[in-house]
Amino acid sequence: MIHAKQIKAIAFDLDGTLIDSVPDLAAATNAMLAELNLPNCSESQVRSWVGNGAEKLAERALSFVHDRAIDAAELADAMPLFMRHYQANLQQHSKLYDGVKPVLQQLHAAGYRLAVVTNKPYRFTLPLLEAFGIAEFFSLVLGGDSLAKMKPDPMPLTHLLTQWQLTPEQLLMVGDSKNDILAAKAAGIASIGLTYGYNYGEDIGLSGPSAVCEQFSEITALINSSAESTEQ
């Protein structure tokens, strides 16, 4: 249940929620593998590996092509390659999901404070938001390396509550992954799960968000209808 009349701020995930970034993540992953003289992987495979940060994505790709668990030294050798290639492929093929910019404009104009809470490294997050012309809507941006822990740990959301002096009832999390929903539950805040993003092939509804939307454009209508229902 979302009590929209109490909501003052909304936190959004990035990959799979605002931006379909898999095409560029896949390009960077395969460039890393090629430099290591390893076979490549498909875009659909990368799509199923996204969600726990860049290091976990690289680890999953390397484990897949080696067909075994990789050790810390192998991952440490590969990570600089991945980071360099992704820096060069941030917005070559990625795109905003339908409805993202107008909805963010509406919410910002309505007075909601907006934040990005992502597991993507911060160094890639802000350039992406700027490249797609949506950075101006966000008062705070947290990357996966901005704090000591990242989603599904609640730390980024509890940090947001503290920074903005909000009660849990005043913050809403919007994301496409169980990591977003689990973090929201642990922080005691409401959440909206989006069905179109990256959730390891699982139905986002199984994670138990407060509400489910199939399109980003449904978010404003859901918030407005929730607010109206509490007034009646």
Q: Identify any residues that bridge with 212 across adjacent strands, giving them in sequence order.
A: 193
φ, ψ at 167 (rounded to 5°):
-90, 160
Give yes or no for a contact between 116 and 14, defined as CB atoms under 8 angstroms apart: yes
Q: Closest by alpha carbon to 48, among 150, 151, 177?
A: 177
* Count of other CB atoms within 10 angstroms of residue 74: 16
Alpha-carbon gap, residue 162 to 9, rounded angstroms: 12
Residue 195: both structure tokens together: 């069905």
Q: Identify any residues that bridge with 175 across adjacent strands, giving them in sequence order.
A: 193
Alpha-carbon gap, residue 169 to 213, rounded angstroms: 20
Distances (CA, A) of 96 to 57, 197, 208: 21, 12, 26
Alpha carbons within 13 angstroms on the beta-carbon side of residue 175 total: 32
Query: Which residues are part of the catalytic machinery?
Result: 13
